[in-house]
Amino acid sequence: MTSTTVSSVGSPIRVGLVGLSARGGWAPRSHLPALSALKGYELRALSASSQASARAAGEKYGVPLVFGSSEELVRSDEVDLVVVSVRVPLHREVILAALGAGKAVLSEWPLGNGLAEAEELAAAAERAGVRTFVGLQARSAPAVRYVRELVADGYVGEVLSTSLVASGRGWGPVFEPSGAYLLDERNGATMLTIPFGHTVDAVTMALGEFTEVSATLATRRPVVREAGTGRAAAMTAADQIAVSGRLESGAVVSAHFRSGLSRGTDFHWEINGTEGDLVVTGDSGHLQQAAVTVRGGRGAERGLTELPVPEHHFGVPELDELRGVPSYEVAYNVGAQYARVLADLTEGTTHTPDFAHAVRRHRLLDAIGRAAATGVRVTV
């Protein structure tokens, strides 16, 4: 049993962010602007890889409490919610420490380095009796929520099938120095776990869970080059992912992720039903941060018409300043998820996926890996 709230009425949720660096990266582009825009949160503390790094980040971003280690941060009485924004291989240590300190935790996706680690962390959270959240923010994207609404309202009728083709953006012929760890599948931060994982979670939110999968995973570029230097490096992470399967409804699924970017299609998600069709297109397979357009057609109509996302799906006015601003666009969906986390922590609701949900998603990815390794259909 988990606790329901962590904040007194009217008091802000005090956030401790693990992994906010003065050198830049994901947290300053996403978590920081999202938290700055939302009422109800106070970014109270941060930790970095050293005291000097933490001090530099604190000065740059105006965070009052800085710690040279995550262990110090999670023990602080001035932190209610620990946000884990570090590389996947470091998640386990930070999360277990936070749970041991009785703190609520928001971990970026993937939760753990593989299914076994995710199950361990979910079990530890259950024992600790605290609220947990996982950063599968594609399901907070207004366009994704609109697609789910259209399907639920019968726009396409009964869903017969869904197909998806996408570019992973990374894992192509050239890698950035900061992304070298993404090349090694043992680190758990691959095209399968990150862009595919985020996107397939959105697909299941709109259309339902998988019941079975078949898959092919391949590394077609075993040697890639570092940007700037041309240094050769080995890549073991799959750069081609082909998955087929069935959903609980009986609908057939086909999904193909390719590494890098394409000269043709970088994101195309089609939903075909007995009464109509929906097509979602965008600029990459990272649906959790992509700029997408929804189009549809039904009945006797031929062709597709753009379906603008209704304003009620942009239901957090404080985030309006992030809409349409290229430098902040990736922060909008993160902010929308933080708004739901705030409600969960202060009102006891369950709007946000938790560690148990993360395990469900890890199980799907594990089933895909086993299907690819064995060449047989695997039940999810």
Evaluate if residue 313 carries a pLDDT over 50.
yes
Strand, coil or helix: 84: strand
208 exposed, middle or buried (CB, 10 Å; 0-12, 13-18, 19+)?
middle
| Structural domains for the chain | 13-130+332-349 (3.40.50.720), 139-313+362-374 (3.30.360.10)
Residue pLDDT, tens place only, 215-268: 999 999 999 999 999 999 999 999 999 999 999 999 999 999 999 999 999 999
Closest of 205, 133, 48, 52 to residue 356, by C-alpha: 133
CA 342 – CA 174 distance, rounded (Å): 39
For 23-59, letters b (16+ CB in 10 Å) and e give: eeebbbbbbbbbbbbbebbbbbbbbbeeeebbbbbbe
pLDDT score recorded for residue 329: 73
Band the pLDDT of 9: cuts 50, 70, 90: low
pTM of the model: 0.96
CA 95 – CA 91 distance, rounded (Å): 6
Evaluate if residue 310 carries a pLDDT over 60.
yes
User: Which backbone phi and psi does 230 adopt, to 5 degrees?
Assistant: 75, 5
Closest of 165, 119, 173 to residue 361, by C-alpha: 119
What's the rounded mean pLDDT across residues 127-133? 98
314 with 331: CB under 8 angstroms?
A: no
